[in-house]
């Protein structure tokens, strides 16, 4: 019986033994661009929901990404690979930062950064849960908003991220209808501040 079990185990495809880190590396290697719908939920230390939002995201590696929040308010976060733009429509305010200063230790660095993921994060496989293979990423640079980030994969598709900050809050991002390697015109990641908006930063 033991020999039979061993033979069956050896016959399993290698992908069946893949962990979260392998899934992330496969996803990064196979997705130079991607776009998806997302929902975002923020819970406090006690598990109470404090914020909910939704919209669309896209990235083109390295360094270009865009998050368009449509509900409950309109916000845009755009990187052209050099600068990061944050636009709040209700406040009519645009904040501009150098990308290198803003991206370190963030989910954007995991998704839209270069291939040297382990230069910026300590990675470790986490136990499977909810039908997903998980990894945990801890930023090496401690001057960041997040204590750790969890990423959940179904096969080679990223479907969920969990971001834990230093105040006990958890931000859960769920991705749907993710498309890998769609054509991404440069204009998708360009941002021109609306006329009349206050600009903070550069």
Compute the average pLDDT of residues 138-159: 87
Res. 105: pLDDT tops 70: no
Number of domains in the chain: 1
pLDDT for 17 equals 44
CATH number at residue 72: 2.50.20.10
What share of the chain has pLDDT > 70, as a percent? 87
74-83 contacts: CB < 8 A, separation 24 or more?
A: 76/191, 78/189, 78/190, 78/191, 79/103, 79/108, 79/112, 79/189, 80/189, 80/190, 80/191, 81/189, 83/202
> In this structure, is residue 170 part of a structural domain?
yes
Structure tokens at 111: 């998704």
pLDDT interval class at 153 (50, 70, 90): very high
Check residues 144 and 30 and name the one with the higher pLDDT. 30
> In this structure, is residue 7 part of a structural domain?
no
> In this structure, is residue 147 part of a structural domain?
yes
Res. 76: pLDDT tops 60: yes
Domain extent at residue 87: 17-201
pLDDT digits (tens, 9 = 90+) for 186-198: 999 999 999 999 9
Res. 44: pLDDT tops 60: yes
> In this structure, is residue 6 part of a structural domain?
no
């Amino acid at each position: 019986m033991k020999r039979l079990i061993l033979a069956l185990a050896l016959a399993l495809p290698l992908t069946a033994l893949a962990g979260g880190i392998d899934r992330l590396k496969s996803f990064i290697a196979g997705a130079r661009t991607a776009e998806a719908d997302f929902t975002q939920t923020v819970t406090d230390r006690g598990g109470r929901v404090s914020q909910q939002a939704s919209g669309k995201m896209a990235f083109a590696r390295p360094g270009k990404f865009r998050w368009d929040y449509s509900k409950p308010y309109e916000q845009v976060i755009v990187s052209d690979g050099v600068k990061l733009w944050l636009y709040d429509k209700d406040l009519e305010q645009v904040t501009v930062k150098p990308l290198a200063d803003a991206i370190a230790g963030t989910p954007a660095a995991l998704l839209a950064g270069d291939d040297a993921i382990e230069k910026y994060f300590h990675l470790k496989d986490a136990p499977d849960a909810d039908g997903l293979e998980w990894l945990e990423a801890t930023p090496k640079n401690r001057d960041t908003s997040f204590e750790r980030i969890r990423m959940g994969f179904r096969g080679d598709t990223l479907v969920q991220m969990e971001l834990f900050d230093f105040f006990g809050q958890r931000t859960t991002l769920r991705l749907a209808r993710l498309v890998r390697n769609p054509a991404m015109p440069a204009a998708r990641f360009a941002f021109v501040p609306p006329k009349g908006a206050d600009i903070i930063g550069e």
